[in-house]
Structures are given as structure tokens and as C-alpha cells.
Structure 1
Amino acid sequence: MPDNPDEWRTMAERFGRKWNFHHACGAIDGKHIAIKEPHKSESLYHNYKGFFSIILLAVVDPDYKFVWVDVGANGSASDCGVFNQCSLFDGLENNTLGFQALEPLPDDDRPLPYFFIVDDAFPLRSWMMELFSARGLAHKDREFNYHLSRA
């Protein structure tokens, strides 16, 4: 996991080269890992998909390699709920991870934040980027969604 601005910038440059999506410093998502029903767990580990699970929440680099993982949260929790309780969230909120400051995109002069790519399970923050809602999108917004999804 990067821990200083130069390493975050390098990660973002790799996303830019590979996926043509600049300022991305990783993609965050959760995955339900199926487990046997724990003894006396009631619904704590029963997820919205209808099975018992624990949650693996991860950040991946542009080559799909894990750079940060939190595993073991109960399956009834949401990705965002798990994220809000993890050390990565605290580090981003408190700016203790050495996350990259505002800089212009290539061939631009307006400073923009670096960010993580997330799905709609997460709220927007200055350091999170998610898709536009799919309803009634203009062409440029659909194109943005396509590129963000690829990245």
C-alpha cells in the first residue's frame, strides 16, 4: 500500500497508462465469501444475497493485485459499513496515508483530487469516484461511466 505522495502518484500514473483513467489510486470493492452457518450466529453472518458469509474488502492496483485487504466482517454488513470502520477510511479521513494532493490532469491546468474508484455502495467523497446514475445520461456521461468501469 502506498504511504507517501510519490507512491500514490506512481499508482495513479499506472492507472492512467493502463486504463486511460488518470488520478485513480486504486479500486475498492467488497466480496462475500461463503461460510457455513456459525453456531448461534442468528442472522449476523446472513447476507442480503441469502447465504452466510464474511466480507473481504480490498483495494486493487491497475493489474488487479491486492494492495490492501480487510477480511472477516460479518456478512450482514454493507461494503460501506465495513469500509467506514476500517483503518483505510480513518487514514483517508485524517489524511495520514500520505495521499496525493490536488494536481492537474495531463494537458490541463485545473487541480483535481486523486481518488479511489468505487461502486454505488459508497458515498461520494473528494477521494472517491463512482459512476453516474444510469438514468437519462448524456453521451459524455455514458462515456465517462464506460471508462470508469474499465478502470
Structure 2
Amino acid sequence: MNRWGFPGDVGAIDCTHVAILKPKADEHNFLNRNNFHSINTQIICDSDLKIRNIFASYGGATHDSSIWNQSAIKEFMQGVHANGERSWLIGDSGYPLSPFLMIPVREAEEDSPESRFNQAYARARNCIEICIGLLKIRFRCILKEITATPDFAVKLKKSLCNTA
């Protein structure tokens, strides 16, 4: 709230692809839209770029919204909302709008209140883009150019959760 002016905002959410070697089983589940094998990893960070949650359980062919729908954080946010707390995550238009997950206004007319909202929203949501970029700079092994096995990707996820 203090930084971006969005009351109740608890963090930003997005997914990123962690490159892996071609798996021997169920290869089609790991081949993403960019034609490389990956784990599609959901990350939530706060405005200080601190990673608050990582969910790395689905192959690269899985859409961000499907990962969100299967995540424990969605259930947690539903419970918080059911208890009357009005807080939410901010995500991109690939996520479904809900009382606890805000997305930009689709097809906002130029110079409209919706357009101004989207501009402010993009500035606030930019923290997740920066966070993922810094993560990939620090841990070069998760970039497409340097691949990891699925086991290594899971170990990396666990180590990030323990240090976040």
C-alpha cells in the first residue's frame, strides 16, 4: 500500500520457466510454448522483492492459471477472504480475476480511468518481473542456455524457499 497505493496488496504473482533436460517420461508435459523443456514455476514476491512463495510442481506445458488453481496459496487466500480480510495478490492477465487475485482491466480505452489504473497496476506488478530477473541472474543454471535435471530444479526450489 505505502509504495504503490494498492490497499490490501500482499504481493505479486507470476510464473517463470526453469529449464530442464528432456525428461524420459511424459516429455510432452514439460515442453513449453517456447519449445524447450521446463518446470513452470509460480513465484510470489513482496514489494521489497522478497520471495514469499514458490510452487514448482508442474511441467512447462502447464498454463499459469492452472498452476494457480492447484496451489496451496490459492486455498490460503480463499480462506483469508472467507474470514473477511480484504487482501489480494496482483497478477497479469493470464490469471483469473477473483476477490483475492487482481488483474489489469482488459481492453481499457486510452486516457480512461481504467487505463490509468492499468498503468499504476503495471508499476506495482513490475516487482515480480524484477524479482524473477534477479533470480535468473543470480542462479544462471535456471536459464534456457544452462539446463538442469528435474531433480535439481526441485532441490533449487527447496533451497530458495529455505532462504526466502
Q: TM-score range by the shorter chain?
A: 0.7 to 0.9
- The structural deviation recorded for 1:21 is 2.3
In structure 2, C-alpha distance between the alignment counterparts of 1:22 and 1:125, rounded to whole Å:
16
Is residue 76 of structure 2 the alignment partner of residue 76 of structure 1? no
In structure 1, C-alpha distance between the alignment counterparts of 2:96 and 2:39, rounded to whole Å:
22
Contact 1:100 1:114 in 2 (8 A): no
In structure 1, C-alpha distance between the alignment counterparts of 2:83 and 2:116, rounded to whole Å:
26
- The structural deviation recorded for 1:92 is 2.3
Is residue 121 of structure 2 the alignment partner of residue 148 of structure 1? yes
Contact 1:21 1:147 in 2 (8 A): no
Contact 2:12 2:46 in 1 (8 A): yes
Q: Please, what TM-score do these two structures have when normalized by structure 2?
A: 0.68
| DSSP 3-state at the match of 1:27 | strand
- The structural deviation recorded for 1:136 is 3.0
Partner of 1:20: 5
Cα distance, 1:98–1:132 mapped onto 2, change above 3 Å: closer
Amino acid paired to 1:90: E
Cα distance, 1:22–1:145 mapped onto 2, change above 3 Å: same
Cα distance, 1:22–1:98 mapped onto 2, change above 3 Å: closer
Amino acid paired to 2:103: E
In structure 1, C-alpha distance between the alignment counterparts of 2:107 and 2:17, rounded to whole Å:
25
| DSSP 3-state at the match of 1:39 | coil
| DSSP 3-state at the match of 2:7 | coil
* Number of corresponding residues: 124
- The structural deviation recorded for 1:98 is 8.0
CA deviation profile, 1:38-63 (whole Å, cap 9, x unmatched): 11333110011221100110111111
- The structural deviation recorded for 1:137 is 4.5
Q: Please, what TM-score do these two structures have when normalized by structure 1?
A: 0.73
- The structure in which a higher percent of residues are strand is 1
Residue number among 53, 56, 72 corresponding to 2:38 in the alignment: 53
Backbone CA RMSD of aligned residues: 2.0
Q: Give the unaligned 5+ runs of structure 2.
A: 125-164
| DSSP 3-state at the match of 1:17 | coil
Task: Name which structure has the greater RCO, CA cutoff 8 Å, separation 6+.
Answer: 2
Partner of 1:132: 105
Partner of 1:37: 22
Contact 2:77 2:88 in 1 (8 A): no
Residue number among 94, 101, 113 corresponding to 2:84 in the alignment: 101
Q: Give the unaligned 5+ runs of structure 1.
A: 1-15, 103-112
- The structural deviation recorded for 1:144 is 0.3
CA deviation profile, 1:76-126 (whole Å, cap 9, x unmatched): 111111111111112223x1x588735xxxxxxxxxx32110111111111
Amino acid paired to 2:90: I
In structure 1, C-alpha distance between the alignment counterparts of 2:118 and 2:35, rounded to whole Å:
29
In structure 2, C-alpha distance between the alignment counterparts of 1:23 and 1:98, rounded to whole Å:
11
